[in-house]
Every structure is written in C-alpha cells, then in structure tokens.
A and B are shown apart, each in its own frame.
Chain A
C-alpha cells in the first residue's frame, strides 16, 4: 500500500510538472487549428507519435495541454468541495441545537441528490467556463466530506484535553481552532486527495456532455470531439485512448496516494501482517 502510494505520488508530481512547463517546452501554435499542417486523423507516425485529430493537431500535444485544465479543475473543485464540507461539518458538530439539525438535514438532502444532474443544471444556467465547472463540481460534492468531518470533530471534541481547554477558560473559537481542528486536519487532507480523483472524472464527464469551456483543451473535451466527429467509428483509436488513459492514470494515482496517506495518518487502518 505504501509503495503504491509512493508510485502514485511520483506519477502525480511528473504529470503536474509536465502540465506547468507545457507553455515553455512546447509551441502553443500547435493547438491553433488554423496554423497546423498535420494530416486529418493521421495514424501514429515518427512525426506525430500519437497521431493527429480531425484538424491535423498532434494528439500528444493536446493530451499534454489537456492535463492543465483537468488538474486545475480537479484540484480547485476538490479544495472547494472539501472546504465547504469541512466548514459545514465543523459547525454542525460544534454548534449543536437547531443549527446542527438544519445543517445535517441539508447535508443528507444533498448527499442523496444525484450530483451529476445538479452539476449539469448549474453549468447549464451559468456562463460557460472553467470557473463554472469548478463551482458546479464543488457545490455538488461536499456532503460526504461534511459527514466525515462532523463525525471526526465530535470524536475529537469528546476527548479530555478539549474539556481541559474549556475549563481553563478557552472560548469556543479558540478551542476549535487550536485544539479540535488539528485533530481533524489529517482526515481533511486525505479527503481532499481522494476528492481530486472524483473531481477530475466529473470534469471530464461535464466536458464530454458539452458543458466545459469551449475554448479550453481538456481530456474530456478531446473525448467529446473524438466521439462527435466520428473518429471513434472511423477506428481512430489513437484519438480515443490517450486522453482516457490519462484520466484513468491520474485518477488511479490520486486514489492510491490518498489511501496510502490514510494508512500513514491513521494507524488503525493498517492491515495486520
């Protein structure tokens, strides 16, 4: 599990670095349909290692640049969703009374609601763009984190040292920030990591349905064009396989990494040898 986590982490670091350096290492002109001269849907060759798309652009270059949007949206949406979840969970655990009851009722409501349908609705009515996608994913995927954080907060808050802090005259805000939050942070970190994977898949799904930023290159948007321009039925596997493998690889790396982090931070989860 640990070794898998390290491998997953390495994969993520490499992909993130590649995504960051893309504008300096590669020529962005290769993404402009008016300035490329490759063959239409050309098979992989010495010049175009992963073939070309229906406009003659290099699939390798598109996949490389696609990592930027996919990772950006994945991380931003995960941070937003776990951020909302942590806030709701903390308040629901510490406030008590009707505030807790209302918040938990709301969390349960959103937990049951089919999140893709809600995300589709949000991104349809709002202006198209990367920000909308982040908002749509973040606003629909927080309830799981909220429930976990609430449970963990309740467990931490019941410990004697928190009672001691109260007895010494610490106010609620002081106790939460200095004594309860540190016990909850590991769970939040793990949750954010796992949420990145879900968010990347959600981004690609929304982009595939045509709700993404029409000007941005992303893995989901590539699969959408591959499907809508008939590349799939024409047997252009080189247009279909790279973006999908990229999504699967990154999501798997994130998941393995998150689970390894979980066992490191929570010794109870380690399997007995």
Chain B
C-alpha cells in the first residue's frame, strides 16, 4: 500500500507535505491567471486585427475619428509594446476605459458585482440544496418511481436552453412578477421596502437559474451515493443496529458528498454561463448583463474586462475548492 508510511509519519514531513500541496495549487492558479491575462490580450487586441474596425462596425466614421480612437487605445504602437503596457495596467487594476459608458471599466464592473453575487449566490445555494436532496432520495430508492421521475425531469431541464425557460416563465406569469431590473424606481429608499422589492424582482431569475443548474448536482449526487451504498461500512453500521435513516445520514451521505463537491466547483463555468443568460433575459444589472451590453457595442475594453474578471473568479473559486477539499477528505491528505 502506498499510503502505509503515512501512519508512521511524524509531524514535520506532514506539514512539509501540506506546504508543498498548497504551493502547488497556488502556483497552478497563478499560472492560470497568467494564461488568462495573455488570452485576454490575444483575444481582444491581437486577434481582431483591427479592434477599431470591430468597434465601429456598421457605423460611418471618418479617418480622423479612427486615428483618434487608435491613439486613445494605444493601437498605433507595436503589439509587443501594447502587451507590456497592458500587463502594467492590469497589475495596477486598470482595465481601461469603456467605449460606450465612458467610465473606467473597473468602476463599471465593481458596480455590477453585487447584484450578480446576490443572484448567483441565492440561486446556487437553492440549487445545491435541491439537487442534493433529490439526488439522495433518488439514489436511496433507485429504480423506483421517484428516481425515474426525478432523473427524467433533470435530464429534460438540462436539455432546455436557459434563456428559453426564462422567456417561458415571463410569458406565463405575465404581470405577476416584474419583467426585469432589480428594483422599481419609485420604491421608498428604506431598507425593508428595498429588500422586499428586490426579492420580488429576484423570484423569476432565481427560479430560472435554479432550474438549469440543479440537475448536475442531482445527477452527480445520485451517482456517487449509489456507488457508496454498496460499501462494506454500511453493512457494519446496520449490524450495529442503526436505523436506515441514520445509516444514510451519518455514514453514506457524508462520503458521497466529497466527489460532489469537486464536481460542483469544476462546473462553475456552467454557473457563469447561467448568470449571463439569466441576467440578459431579466435585465438583471449584474456582470452577465454587462457582458451582453459589452458585446452589443461591441465595447472591446469592457468585454475584455468582464472576460478577465469572470475567468479569474472561476480560477480562484477552484483554488479555494482544492484547498477546502484537503480539509474535508483525509484521504487526499495522505496521498
């Protein structure tokens, strides 16, 4: 057995191993962040050939205006020089000026982070709770009527485009819920009125978000719990005289949660695409809607900013998951 020496290992090597693990993960994340920065430059500065043509597509512009734009964005300098100044700006947190909003991109993004976190956070919590509950019930009575129905619904919702579900909800509940935005402009500014109004605006976006995202949690939880159910330690638990309910909650579910946690973080990209489509359908003023507004321009500096921020956020969340996973699962610590 490869993990046998761990049993006799003394405190210091273990701590060193922890250090190496953390350093490896942090190093990997830093490398990813670097790659994202390079990709951001290649996509928005090098690939378009001429970003000004892309930005002014379909609009009449004079040669003087083009020259002015090129100078404003530093596009008249050599590419490698642009790259260095881009990196220097990035290090200072300067993402450039938005072309359509005429404000710094970083300010615009900072202003939109809150609503996205509110929507995605609420949605993800609900989706995880729903998915884990349904997955556990399906796996416990696998092959039964509940399992078949729940798995069928999950597969069906997974096949449906997010935005279509949102549009359907909008047309079905016409008038019951606001069709977009985060608050009505005439709501009193005190905390409670604002909170109630925001909650009212959140209902449809959150339902849409949950409907699309929960299926993956359910299917993963079901699969990993089914695998866990044949494990020998459950037989021991039953032999001890535990009730079925206790066997499930104390011995099967905690183990099955581990692979689920990994996959939940691995699929964060799906959460980001869900946020973009849901926010676009319901005009929720978050980063997703900002991405949509940026691509309509197209406002390349703004789109570059949202790309960098969303990608970096996913990488950092994954790093957090890797570090958390080591705390949760002693077996990872041993290997």
Contact = CB atoms under 8 A, between A and B. Distances in A.
Interface in B9-44: 28, 31-32, 35-36, 39, 43-44
A114 B314 contact: yes
A228 to B, nearest CB: 11
A125 B171 CA distance: 33
> Dominant SS at the B interface?
helix
Q: How large is the interface on B (under 10, 10 to 19, 20 to 34, 35 or more residues)?
A: 35 or more
A126 B306 CA distance: 18
Nearest to A256: B155
A148 to B, nearest CB: 14
Contacts of A114: 268-269, 272-273, 310-311, 314
A233 B164 contact: no
Interface in B160-210: 160-164, 167-168, 170-171, 174, 179
A120 interface: yes
Given A125-B44, A232-B170, A116 B35 contact: no
A112 B159 contact: no
Contacts of B164: 204, 223, 240, 243-244, 247-248
A11 interface: no
Contacts of A244: 160-161, 164, 167-168
B233 to A, nearest CB: 22
Contacts of A48: none
Given A114-B273, A124-B295, A208-B163, A235 B174 contact: yes
A109 B307 contact: no
Contacts of B306: 117
A205 interface: yes
Nearest to A211: B295
A114 B287 CA distance: 13
B151 to A, nearest CB: 11
A113 B160 contact: no
A122 interface: yes
B218 interface: no
A237 B36 CA distance: 42
A17 interface: no
Interface centre among A114, A118, A248, A256 (most CB of B within 10 A): A114
A34 B88 CA distance: 53
By Cβ-Cβ distance, the 6 closest A-B pairs, closest first, are A116-B273, A114-B272, A114-B269, A244-B164, A251-B159, A125-B48
Interface of A: 105, 108-109, 111-118, 120-122, 124-126, 197, 201, 204-205, 208-211, 220, 223, 226-227, 232-233, 235, 237, 240-241, 243-244, 247-248, 251-252, 255-256, 271
